[in-house]
Amino acid sequence: MRENTTVRLTTLSPGAGCACKLPQASLETLMTSLNGFGAQAADDLLVGLPEGDDAAVLRLGDGQALILTTDFFTPVLDDPYDWGRVAAANALSDVYAMGGRPVAALNLAAWPGDGLPLDLLADVMRGAATKAAEGGCAVVGGHTIADPVPKYGMAVIGLADPDHLMTIDKVRPGDLLVLTKPLGTGVIVTALKQDAADPATLAEAVASMTTLNANAARAAVAAGVLAATDVTGFGLLGHLRRMLSASGLAATVDADRVPLLPDARELAAKGFVPGGTKANMSFLADWVDVAVSVDEEVAILLHDAQTSGGLLLAVPPSAAGLVDRLREHDRSTAVIGQAVAGRPGHISVHAGA
Ligand SMILES: Nc1ncnc2c1ncn2[C@@H]1O[C@H](COP(=O)(O)OP(=O)(O)OP(=O)(O)O)[C@@H](O)[C@H]1O
Ligand SMILES: [Mg+2]
């Protein structure tokens, strides 16, 4: 982490990170109204627009598939270099969520025409390029516009084996639901914006947000996992609901097993809850039943809008050994629930066995 500048980037941001995504209800309305104006999977297009997956996938001729995705957002941190690292890890994550590896990226940037030093944007891009390089991904160009609210992200292309893709529609009854990073970045970043996150708490959140999902994806593909997504702005339950609806299944979640970042509970209890998290709670009310025994702060965190969150994997019980291998990369990796037959998209959250 570099020294903070005098400009507090998060004060320029109405939302922050993936919490500035359009609410899920609005996005789904938009996508439905685009019906017919976006290509559906057919022939060499293995994953298209109506599939609503983490990225589009195009079969190439030589036993490889091309993965295409993009992601950008307003400042999630005050430190520009770290914001860049987080934004790159987040943009690359959709490639990992499909079971691929990123190969090239374009910078997408919006920056105030005056008043905010360009040096800061250069720092954002340096942080992002360093993180992308860690994933074997070269930054090869980009586009920059003048805009009063700074925004940064990437369009990323990746490669995958078309026979070993991970998609959101392949969850099977009995699959174990595995989460590879702890929750809580939304509440911690909201506390940061209000000067209420202590440095150690913030450092843990930054360490988590800048961790690539590369190792988790590689291990999951090797173990034969067929269904995955990454947990971002719609929160754990929002992204789980999308997987379940696409797969025609329901799920149970054990709130006690869901990993949480240090201090996330306390900050949620103090009311540092982003607008994106509140929107997730209201949208998911028709899909999620939370047992009364589940603590209110934990229920909030299950909906918390994550930036650069972990992978949510549907792991067949026969491949449960994967969980130990994933824990070698992130000790907080946990089995948090199970897919079951039931109303598609429905989630029952309980506390304890
Ligand atoms: N403007 C858009 N035009 C076409 N498709 C869109 C648009 N915005 C979102 N989508 C699609 O809607 C689906 C859900 O988008 P969303 O951004 O939640 O997922 P994502 O790409 O996995 O992002 P992330 O994991 O980084 O939050 C994706 O399939 C995405 O491609
Ligand atoms: Mg995604």
- In this predicted model, what pLDDT tens digit does every residue of 104-150 receive, in sequence order? 999 999 999 888 999 999 999 999 999 999 999 999 999 999 999 99
Catalytic residues: 18
Sheet with 151-160, edge to edge strand ranges: 45-47, 56-59, 65-73, 151-160, 101-111, 138-146
Partners of residue 159 on adjacent β-strands: 66, 101
Which pLDDT band, with edges at 50, 70 and 90, does 17 fall under? low
Mean pLDDT of the chain: 94
Residue holding tokens 């957002």? 73
Task: Name the pLDDT band for 180 (thresholds 50, 70, 90).
Answer: very high
Q: How far is the CA of 200 from the centre of ligand 1 (A)?
A: 32
224: closest CA among 331, 157, 92, 317?
A: 317
Please tell me whether 324 is known to bind a ligand. no
330 carries a ligand binding annotation: no
Q: Are 20 and 73 in contact (CB under 8 A)?
A: yes
Pocket test for ligand 1, best of 54, 68, 86 (most atoms within 8 A of CB): 54
pLDDT mean over 47-64: 94
Report which bound ligand comes closest to the CA of 47. Answer: 1
pLDDT confidence tier of residue 13, bands split at 50, 70 and 90: confident
Nearest CA to ligand 1 atom 16: 54
Q: How confident is the model at residue 19 (pLDDT cuts 50, 70, 90)?
A: low
Q: How far is the CA of 22 from the centre of ligand 1 (A)?
A: 10
CA 335 to mean position of chain CA atoms:
18
Residue 260 pairs in a beta bridge with 183
Are 216 and 180 a contacting pair, CB within 8 Å? yes
> Which residue from 8, 17, 64, 23 is spatially nearest to 280, judged by alpha carbons?
23
Domains recognised in the chain with CATH numbers: 9-164 (3.30.1330.10), 176-350 (3.90.650.10)
Calculate the CA dihedral of residues 183, 185, 191, 197 and round it to 10 degrees. 90
Residues near ligand 2 ion, CB 5 Å cutoff: 54, 94, 230
Q: What is the model's pLDDT at position 148?
A: 92
- On the question of pLDDT at 6 being above 80, the answer is no
For residue 159, name the pLDDT band (cuts at 50, 70, 90): very high
Predicted pLDDT at 11: 86
Q: Are 200 and 191 spatial neighbours (Cβ–Cβ below 8 Å)?
A: no
Q: Are strands 347-350 and 311-315 parallel, antiparallel or unpaired?
A: unpaired
Residue with the smallest CA separation from ligand 1 atom 22 is: 54
**10 carries a ligand binding annotation:** no
N-terminal to C-terminal alpha carbon distance within the chain:
40
pLDDT tens readout for residues 233-263:
999 999 999 999 999 999 999 999 999 999 9
Answer for the pair 65, 159: CB distance below 8 angstroms, yes or no.
Answer: yes
So what's the ipTM on this one? 0.94
Which residues have C-beta atoms less than 6 Å from ligand 1? 18, 27, 31, 49, 52-54, 69, 71, 90, 94, 230, 232-233
Q: How far is residue 252's CA from residue 210's CA, in Å, rounded to a whole number?
A: 29
Q: For ligand 1, what atom is nearest to the CA of residue 54?
A: 22
What pLDDT score was predicted for residue 341? 98
